[in-house]
Structure formats: structure tokens, C-alpha cells
Amino acid sequence: MAAKTISPRANDTRLDEWSPQLLKSRLYGPLLIDIIVGRLAPGERLDEQILAKRYGGGLAGIREALARLSLEGLVLRRARVGTMVSPLDLMEARDAFGARALVEIECAGLAARLATDADIAAIRATLNEGEAAIAKNDVRALAVMDEAFHVAVASASHNRVLAKMVMTLHHQTARFWLVTMREPSLEESQLALAQHRVLADAIAAHDVVRARAAMMHHRWFSVHRIVQHAERPSECLHNALKSQTDAEDWDT
């Protein structure tokens, strides 16, 4: 029997298997962000025809984007029933935040050790529009920037498995954070951006210990905000339970 050979992946460090030029990729991005920021709310039914008109794509592209979002657990699809935005789940969110902290701290250390000049430039580039987004209180732009930053850091780890885990966990936790929380204050947004810059500086300096500590502090800050700064003490529970009830009604 002939020996099988395993060829290494060519110099392709993209985490996204879809080319940005593809229509389905251009549809997936806006749908993802609107789910994360709550414009497409937990439990909301999604009509493919309406989505095609809203996002400017054909039904085939919308269906492929929804299929990918379903694999990430962000939408639920039922044959002959339809599609809805997945409800929030408190226990899953808790587990996702814990897993994300472990994985991202490791990615930050690897990035500090292995990041190339191009990786570092890509990380810093994600922060360029941060101040303008904060000044406008543009939650959607901040969500886009936050995702791009964390994916860039994960990519700089040069461990595709860990980096893809970060991307999926980020989508899940960012949605819980933005849907259940009040809008962040100016001071909170500025502090989060400053933490991003500290982490970027540590990676650029190839300081593994400082990079891991910076990521640990940033992850703690995010969880602390969720626990301490909801508009009402029961807000996270109320919103999560409401979306779960909507899902149960949809299944019946």
C-alpha cells in the first residue's frame, strides 16, 4: 500500500475559510454583527426573503450564511418551520466565558512569542477606528473592532485550532454581553480600548508574561462588568429567560 502523505497548509493564515470576496461572506459578516449587538434579537424569527432585501443578497447567499451561523450556535433552523436567532442561555454563557479566558490567555502568550511584524501591524490596525467609534457611541462599530482585535491576536498565535476556538467563543460571549447589558459608558469603552492597547504593546514587545497578564486582566474586566453593571440586578436572567421562552413557544 502506498504511503499517504500529509501536506502542510500553504502560507494561508486566514481563519475564515470563505474568501471575503464571496457574496455569502459579505452577507455573513453583517448578519453576525447584528446578532451580536442584538439588532436581530434572541428568539426573533428570521424570514429569508426579508433578510435578502435588508442585506442586499440573494436567497442562496442568505441560506449559506444562516447555515454557518447555525453551526456556530447563533441561529436555530427547523425543517418546515423556519429560522430564529438562538435564545440566550445563562449556563452556556458562563461556560463560554470560562473557556474563552483559558484559550485567549494561551493565545496571547503564543502571540507574544511568535507574532511577526505583519501580525503586530494587523493587531494595531484594528484599533485605529476605536476612538472615533467611542466618541460616536457607535456600538456596532465597537463590536466590529472588538471582534477584529481578538481574532487578530488569536491569529498571531499561529495555532489555527486555538484561534478558531477564540473566534467562535467570542461570538457567543460578545452577544450575551451586548444583549444583556446596558450600553457601555464612555469611560468603560475608553478603558476597554486602553486594555487592548496594553495587550498589543506587550505582544509587540514579545513579552509573554506581560501579554498573558494583560489578557487575563482584560477578561476579568469584561466578566466583572457583566456581573456588576447590568441596569437591573436581574436583567441578565430576565433577558435570557425571555429568549428561552420565545424559543419554546416557537418549537410548539
Average pLDDT, stretch 171-189? 79
Q: Are residues 193 and 227 in the same domain?
A: yes
> What pLDDT does 239 receive?
47
Q: Provide the whole-model pTM.
A: 0.75
Q: Are residues 53 and 126 in the same domain?
A: no
Q: Are residues 60 and 169 in the same domain?
A: no
- pLDDT (tens digit, 9 = 90+) per residue, 67-99? 999 998 999 998 878 899 999 887 888 888 889
> What pLDDT does 141 receive?
87
Examine residue 9 and state whether it is found in any structural domain, yes or no. no
Average pLDDT, stretch 159-174? 90
pLDDT above 50 (res 36)? yes
Q: Are residues 28 and 107 in the same domain?
A: no
Average pLDDT, stretch 129-137? 83
Q: Are residues 40 and 107 in the same domain?
A: no
pLDDT above 60 (res 20)? no
- Contacts of residues 225-229 at CB distance under 8 Å and 24 or more positions apart, as own/partner, are 225/177, 225/181, 225/184, 225/188, 226/176, 226/177, 226/180, 226/181, 229/181, 229/182, 229/188
> What pLDDT does 230 receive?
45
> What pLDDT does 92 receive?
84
Examine residue 29 and state whether it is found in any structural domain, yes or no. yes
Provide the 8-state DSSP code for 15.
S
Tally of domains within the chain: 2
Q: Are residues 53 and 167 in the same domain?
A: no
- pLDDT (tens digit, 9 = 90+) per residue, 195-250? 999 999 999 999 999 999 999 999 887 766 665 544 444 454 444 444 444 444 54
Q: Are residues 80 and 152 in the same domain?
A: no
> What pLDDT does 26 receive?
81
Q: Are residues 98 and 144 in the same domain?
A: yes
d(CA 67, CA 87): 17
Q: Are residues 72 and 95 in the same domain?
A: no
CATH number, position 47:
1.10.10.10
Q: Are residues 65 and 98 in the same domain?
A: no
Q: Are residues 68 and 110 in the same domain?
A: no
Examine residue 246 and state whether it is found in any structural domain, yes or no. no
pLDDT above 90 (res 149)? yes
CATH number, position 221:
1.20.120.530
Q: Are residues 175 and 141 in the same domain?
A: yes
Pick 1 or 103 by higher pLDDT.
103
CA distances from 152 to 4, 13, 199 (A): 34, 11, 12
The domain in which residue 42 lies consists of 23-86
